[in-house]
């Protein structure tokens, strides 16, 4: 558990070092710090919308929080980097990484985004996309729609 906590603390440092030294990080993606080749292989990526059926929201100009779970299943040891995008934006949101051990396991990350809720709108809609750049995989959620209260 302590190792996982330290990895979560190190994630922002990893993201900043990717921006500063992509060649070094590309090399690190194929070899762990011990020099052992990583064999992580992502076998499944899902984005699940956490929406209660029939839920309505106040459309009064205050953003509405929408929640999603990103589920990544992988086999073998290694690190898988990820980031999110919201709607059609290319801006990267909430970068991080998962560390997988031997065997097959699934990791889950919660992503909450604020979607605009203009006054007098009929509904608030949006979606997210989970990107795994090193794996060349991206998975988009379904379109989420919250009807506005009348």
Reduce the DSSP state of residue 2 to 3 states and report it: helix
Dist CA 22 CA 104 (whole Å): 28
pLDDT of 35 over the 50 cut: no
Q: What is the DSSP letter of 6?
A: H
pLDDT recorded at residue 67: 94
**Long-range contacts from 28-33, C-beta under 8 angstroms, 24+ separation:** 29/79, 29/134, 32/77, 32/78
pLDDT of 48 over the 60 cut: yes
pTM attached to this predicted model: 0.72
Q: What pLDDT, in 10s, does the model give residues 79-125?
A: 999 999 999 999 999 999 999 999 999 999 999 999 998 988 999 99
Q: Which of these, 75, 84, 77, 78, lies nearest to 29 by C-alpha position? A: 78
E-strand ranges in 30-102 read 41-50, 64-75, 78-86, 93-100
């Amino acid at each position: 558990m302590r190792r996982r906590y330290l990895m979560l603390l190190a994630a922002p440092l990893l993201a900043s070092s990717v921006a500063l030294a992509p060649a070094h990080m590309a090399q690190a993606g194929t070899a762990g710090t011990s020099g052992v080749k990583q064999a992580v292989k992502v076998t499944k990526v899902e984005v699940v919308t956490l929406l209660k059926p029939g839920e309505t929201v106040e459309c009064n100009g205050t953003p509405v929080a929408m929640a999603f779970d990103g589920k990544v299943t992988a086999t073998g040891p290694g690190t898988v980097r990820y980031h999110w995008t919201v709607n059609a934006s290319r801006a990267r949101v909430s970068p991080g990484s998962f560390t997988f051990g031997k065997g097959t396991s699934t990791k889950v990350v919660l992503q909450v985004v604020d979607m605009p809720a203009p006054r007098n709108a009929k509904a608030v809609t949006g979606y997210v996309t989970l990107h795994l750049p090193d794996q060349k995989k991206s998975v988009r959620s379904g379109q989420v729609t919250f009807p506005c209260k009348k």
